[in-house]
Amino acid sequence: MPRPRTFDEDRAVDAAMRVFWTTGYEATSTQDLCAATGLGRSSIYNTFTSKRELFDRALRRYVDRFTATQLEVITDETLPIRERVRQILWTAVEPDPDVPAGCFVINTIVELGPTDLEIIDLLDRDHQAKLEALTAAIQAAQAAGELDATQDAAGLATYVFTVLGGLRVAARRGAGPDSQRTVVEATLRSF
């Protein structure tokens, strides 16, 4: 009869997410995961079967959490479109101090994207959902006269997420809030 688990699996996934986010998949050792989660090797492998499965669960957790937050902002029709875009970008200027610098998704794309089609498929679907939502919000703002109707809504949405990615990469290399603010202000001039 197997022993019952004496740990919170969700907390273990969250702890692993932070390690993978900070150091990447390849550079994260099983020992790193044990130290972060407080679990022994056998508990990690009995629960998650492999480092890769734990990574996949951590990445999905990140995607679900951050996409839900972004979609909530994007679809908040009580805010002008410019404010929604500012809030999306501002997460890179003033990130939650309890999270690692940069973006787990972007780090993963750079590290595993060229060779891991399953990961890229997940991240492409996630990115497409956010692009479609922002494009629809921009189109609604154009229809309401809030934004120039001659601008390419899909192009603007792509621009916003490209800038956000750049801001997160810059944060990872140590860019300060002042330079990040300047980029956000320049981007908002398009709105």
Residue 16: inside a domain: no
pLDDT in tens, 89-105: 998 888 888 888 889 99
**Residue 84 pLDDT:** 98
In a domain, 44, yes or no: no
Dig out the tokens for 112 from the structure: 């595993």
Mean pLDDT of 79-89: 97
pLDDT value at residue 1: 46
Residue 36 lies in a domain: no
Query: 21-58 pLDDT, tens per residue?
Result: 999 999 999 999 999 999 999 989 899 999 999 999 99
Residue numbers of the domain that contains 103 = 58-188
Q: Is residue 28 part of a domain?
A: no
Tally of domains within the chain: 1
Q: What percent of the chain has pLDDT over 90?
A: 79
Of 170, 22, 36, which Cα lies nearest the Cα of 92?
170
The answer to whether position 47 is within a domain reads no
What digits encode the pLDDT tens for the residues 116-164?
999 999 999 999 999 999 999 999 999 999 999 999 999 999 999 999 9
Residue 70 lies in a domain: yes
172 vs 137, which has greater pLDDT?
Answer: 137
Q: CA-CA distance, 88 to 109, in Å (whole number)? A: 20
Domain assignment present for residue 129? The answer is yes
Query: What is the spatial distance between Cα 47 and Cα 1, in angstroms, rounded to a whole number?
Result: 15
User: The domain spanning residue 88 has which CATH number?
Assistant: 1.10.357.10
Q: Is 46 inside a domain boundary?
A: no
120 neighbors 113 (Cβ within 8 angstroms): yes
Place of tokens 């980029």: 183
Measuring CA to CA, which residue among 48, 34, 50, 46 is closest to residue 2? 46
CB–CB of 142/151 below 8 Å? yes
